[in-house]
Amino acid sequence: MNMKIAFVGKGGSGKTTLSSLFIRHLAATGAPVVAVDADINQHLGVALGLDEDEAAALPAMGARLTMIKDYLRGSNPRIFSAATMIKTTPPGDGSRLLRIRENNPVYDACARGVELDGGTARLMVTGPFTDSDLGVSCYHSKTGAVELFLNHLVDGRGEYAVVDMTAGSDSFASGMFTRFDMTFLVAEPTRKGVAVYRQYKEYARDFGITLRVVGNKVRGQDDLDFLRAEVGDDLLVTAGYSEWVCAMEKGRPPRFSLLEDVNKQALAALQAAADETYEARDWARYTQQMVHFHLRNAQSWANDRTGTDLTAQVDPDFVLGEQQAVVQPG
């Protein structure tokens, strides 16, 4: 079933740190994991133990967008070319879908296996963001690859896609923020951390997003009280200051099993909360939302940009789900 999980939050709140710990935790249980770095600051590879050179050498999804689009559109007759396939173009009859465990040309081109303590994960990165990416729509061309990946991904129970993301308004424009079964908003006990939560919650409400807050760098009762008062029941769990993380930051990660017990428990709580969303999965709604954002993008800029009526790319009979994945062409 769908286990698409995002870590969002204010810059510096600990998204990458908590994503990487969660990925290590999942991998240690033997679960198949695809880890995706979709943040403006690309640090997930290093947080997973790669050195700077290895991280810099990771293949960027953003640089392989045409290849990704050509693979995904397959023989879909409604999508004429990679150039007319935008980040929100939904799959339809003839599209190729992706699975967490399989080998496919997208993973061959964009994913690298990362050895973790007690397991492995596939890692994909959008690629470093440059100044020109930080404008309006160009920014999306990098995260657009991730949105396409998620919209074509049929993941089974106990399989995880974990995305390290920003909480910026860019992800709201694209629909990317609706692509997850569980969104963990990482918040430090500060007014700014909580303000980002409120903004996210407001966008999330209209789309039935499951949003839970993970308090980070919580140092005592006062911090905890502050988060409880500001966030209420959305507060799932908190992580404290971690010596294990500090050692990792120095390039000397201890064995993962030596992570503090309290932080291990926090990671188990994240997994339990994510797994709970299993029952709530609704492939039809998931497909409808991608269509919603696609129509919105088509009408607001993409029809003009491509000179094509992209609303015609929607296959009205298509619902993303397990059945299609079974019959996908090899």
Ligand X SMILES: Nc1ncnc2c1ncn2[C@@H]1O[C@H](COP(=O)(O)OP(=O)(O)OP(=O)(O)O)[C@@H](O)[C@H]1O
Q: Which residues bind ligand X (CB under 6 A)?
A: 9, 11-17, 39, 41, 43, 216-217, 239, 241-242, 245-246, 249
In contact, 26 and 160? CB cutoff 8 Å: yes
11 contact choice in ligand X, Mg ion, none (CB below 5 to 8 Å, kind-dependent):
ligand X
The residue range among 43-51, 73-81, 220-228, 238-246 that interacts with Mg ion, by the rule CB under 5 A, is 43-51
Which residue, 90 or 215, has its beta carbon nearer to ligand X?
Answer: 215
- From the list Mg ion, ligand X, none, partner contacted by residue 59 (C-beta under 5 to 8 A by kind): none
φ/ψ of 106, rounded to 5, equals -70, -45
Residues 294, 88 contacting (CB under 8 angstroms): yes
Amino acid at 201: K
Minimum CB distance to ligand X smaller for 14 or for 49 = 14
Closer CB to ligand X, residue 225 or residue 249? 249
37 scored as a contact of Mg ion (CB under 5 A): no
Q: Report if residue 40 touches Mg ion, rule: CB under 5 A.
A: no
- Amino acid type, 230: E
For the bound state, the minimum distance from the C-beta of residue 14 to Mg ion, rounded and expressed in Å, comes to 8
The CB-of-212 to ligand X minimum distance in angstroms stands at 16
Residue 61, CA distances (Å) to 37, 86, 101, 126, 170 in order:
10, 14, 18, 5, 18
Stretch of 28-36, 40-48, 177-185, 304-312 contacting Mg ion, by CB under 5 A: 40-48
| Residue 82 to residue 67: CA distance in whole angstroms | 8
Query: What is the spatial distance between Cα 14 and Cα 41, in angstroms, rounded to a whole number?
Result: 12
Q: Which is nearer to ligand X, 41 or 190 (CB)?
A: 41
Instruction: List the beta bridge partners of residue 218.
Output: none
Contact call for residue 41 and Mg ion (CB under 5 A): yes
Residues 180/12, Cβ–Cβ less than 8 Å: no
Both tokens assigned to 43? 């640090």
39 binds Mg ion (CB under 5 A): yes
* Chain residues that interact with Mg ion, rule: CB under 5 A: 15-16, 39, 41, 43
